[in-house]
Amino acid sequence: MKPKKTSFSRKREYFVPGPEASQEKILTELKEVFPIMESVSRKKKQTFYDTFDYKLYGKGLLLVKEGRKYALMKSGDGEQMAALSTRAKKTPKFWWDFPDGELREELSLYLDVRALMPLVDIERSSTRYRILNEDEKTVSYLDLEEINTLDCGGKKASARLLAVQPVRGYTEESDKIAEYLFGIGLERTPDDVLKIAFESLGRKPGDYSSKINVRLEPDMPASTAAKVILLSLLETIKANEQGIIDDIDSEFLHDYRVSVRRTRSVITLIKGVFPEKVKERYKKDFAMLGKSTNRLRDLDIYLLKRKQYEQMLPPELRAGLNPLFSMLENERQNALHEFVTFLSSPEYERILQSWDKFLKDTKIPEDGAVNAHTPILKLAKTHIRKRYKKALKLGKKIDDNSPDSDLHTLRIECKKLRYFLEFFESLFPEKQIRQAVRQLKALQDNLGDFNDLHVQQESLKDYVSKMNSRTKEGKDSIISAGGLISQLYSKQLDVRSEFEKRFEEFSNNETEALFENLFSTN
């Protein structure tokens, strides 16, 4: 069938009755002014799904399961984007777990490598009333809804909702009803059902993001500002623990690691903000946290690349990768178990607790922290400018003959610069700082790809050296891994040849002027 297109906008308006206004009371009042007929009552159970970081809701979309049917719809007017009826008992986790079709296709645009999780179960009982005109023609629908919500943690809450839905060609009449409801003290709400359900639980959809979301004031003492940033990072660290333990998807660990790295950067790179003793202690702690996740993350990346790797090889060589991947899978299980054990150890709890206590202490340290009182804007500018200059100096020395290690050093330096831009984003004009980040990101992507390809080849070589070349399986596997290494190498050369152009964009007069303009301390 053709796509369902209507030029008529079904403008549905929502109202939230106040706590004292019962549905009966509202109806009685309405009935005095408008002829009303009750038509049908309905009950439905819906489960809402999204990724941990609300990839769908962030784009104004809702994924709802009702009975056997999944539907992806717009959160405002409920327009359906795609649907699927399935008899499968298991809930698909990733977009690629859905059967071929429009729903899978749509989801692939938004979900990336994140898993879908049930957010809330909602039971909606609604009664539909028809509002009639003098010909007893229905001109508007009034839906009274009771929304009972149960979140995944077992918390319960309920909310009530009134919706006015105009019949096509009779919007004026619906406007009158909406006005009337507003007049008797009902509040108009632009909210969608998910938001209402969440709010009844005291939550907000979209309450997690891996981005650093802090507002700093230019004259904040540097040590206070650093603590604000670090507290936000600590929240992200804690928020991702459960997802790692439950092994929901690879991105919990990824976000966890990024926050740990960022924490380390703040501690080590902003000089003179915290007392030396404190600095040394937590530098060590967070270095250890970071290190304990390295192998697990590497393995996650390999496993995510499985499809891509297979497609690089001729079909007959693909099976040769199976032993490699089952080995990686096993190794990952062990690495995960090890890290999860660590997450629940007293040692881990101690580190995070004392860190939390330190950050929540608002006293500005006096002992040996020379920059503790410096206004953060001044410190931020000095640091970012210094890092940019250093990255330029390193990058300008790189030519076609430079060893891989030079690119590695530049990559690390760029990462530090990126963190600083993100930490202090709220201190600078949004548009310009975004532009600076964009230029840097293009270069970082190039350096990152180069490094990933390098690391992948090294670990494949290591794998090959361990394989038994006397068995058939071993031989096949060596051939496949060899094929893959040569493919990765040729990709790495392509990426390397792109470097010059990326760096030119990062170091040209225009970008230099942008950085100078933003971060000059004069």
Partner 1 sequence: MKTLALYSMKGGVGKTATAVNLAYVAASEGSRALICDLDPQGATSYYFRIRGSKNFNTNKFVKGGRIIDENIKGTDYPNLDLLPSKLSFRNMDLALDAMKKSKKRLRKVFKEVEHEYDYLFLDCPPGISLISENIFNAADFIFVPIIPTTLSVLTYDKLLEFFKKKGLSRKKLYSFFSMVETRKTLHNQTMEEMSANGKHVLNTSIPYRSDIEKMGVYREPVPAHLPKSPSAMSYGKLWMEIKGIIDG
Structure tokens at 447: 């350096």
Residue among 8, 40, 154, 431 that touches partner 1 (CB under 8 A): 8
* Shortest distance, position 315 Cβ to partner 1, whole Å: 42
Nearer to partner 1, 129 or 355 (CB): 129
Told to check if 40 binds partner 1 by CB under 8 A, we report no
What are the backbone dihedrals phi and psi of residue 149, each rounded to the nearest 5 degrees, phi first? -115, 140
- Residue 125, both tokens: 């009982």
Stretch that binds partner 1, among 6-14, 278-286, 364-372, 435-443 (CB under 8 A): 6-14
5 touches partner 1 (CB under 8 A): yes
Q: 295: which residues sit within 8 A by CB, 6+ positions away?
A: 331, 335
- Minimal distance in Å, beta carbon 171 to partner 1? 10
Checking 306-309 for CB contacts under 8 A at 24+ apart, the result is 309/484
Report in angstroms how near the CB of residue 98 gets to partner 1 at its nearest. 24
Residue 6 binds partner 1, judged by CB under 8 A: yes
From 3-11, 24-32, 72-80, 97-105, give the range in contact with partner 1 by CB under 8 A: 3-11
> Which among 15, 120, 6, 8 is positioned nearest to 63, based on CA atoms?
120
497: its two tokens = 């040849």
Residue 431 interacts with partner 1 (CB under 8 A): yes or no: no
Residues within window 150-169 making contact with partner 1, judged by CB under 8 A: 167-169
CB closer to partner 1 out of 171 and 268: 171
Choose between 5 and 363: whose C-beta lies nearer to partner 1.
Answer: 5
User: Least separation, in Å, of the C-beta of 169 and partner 1?
Assistant: 3
Restricted to residues 370-409, the positions that interact with partner 1 (CB under 8 A) are none
DSSP string for residues in 398-459: --TT--HHHHHHHHHHHHHHHHHHHHTGGGS-HHHHHHHHHHHHHHHHHHHHHHHHHHHHHH
CB nearer partner 1, residue 129 or residue 282:
129
- The beta strand positions in 300-386, using DSSP E, are none
Residue 100 DSSP code: S
Question: What separation in angstroms does the CA of 365 have from each of 272, 281, 372?
Answer: 10, 16, 7
Residue closer to partner 1 by CB (options 23, 133) is 133
CB of 292 to partner 1, least distance (A): 57
Per-residue x/- marks for partner 1, 124-153, CB under 8 A? Answer: ------x----xxxx---------------
Binding mask 167-186 for partner 1 (x = CB under 8 A): xxxx----------------
Distance in Å, CB of 37 to partner 1, minimum: 10
Shortest Cβ 138–partner 1 spacing (Å): 4
Q: Of 269, 323, 331, give the one whose Cα is nearest residue 294.
A: 331
Name the β-bridge partners of 42. Answer: 126
Residue 462, Cα to own-chain centre: how many angstroms? 34
CA dihedral 432, 433, 437, 440 (to 10 degrees): 70
Structure tokens at 238: 């804690």
Amino acid at residue number 397? K
Q: Dihedral of CA 104/106/109/111: which sign?
A: negative
Which of 32/135 has CB closer to partner 1?
A: 135
Q: Which is nearer to partner 1, 6 or 509 (CB)?
A: 6
User: Measured from the CB of residue 408, what is the shortest distance to partner 1 in angstroms?
Assistant: 56
Number of residues that bind partner 1 (CB under 8 A): 17
- Which one, 4 or 466, has the nearer CB to partner 1? 4
Shortest distance, position 135 Cβ to partner 1, whole Å: 4
- Interhelix angle 276-304/322-343, rounded to 10 degrees, is 150
d(CA 282, CA 351): 8
Q: By C-beta, is 136 or 366 nearer to partner 1?
A: 136
Distance, CA of 279 to CA of 282 (rounded, Å): 6
Nearest-approach distance from CB 137 to partner 1, in angstroms:
4
What is the spatial distance between Cα 306 and Cα 327, in angstroms, rounded to a whole number?
13
Q: For binding to partner 1 (CB under 8 A), which residues are involved?
A: 1-8, 130, 135-138, 167-170
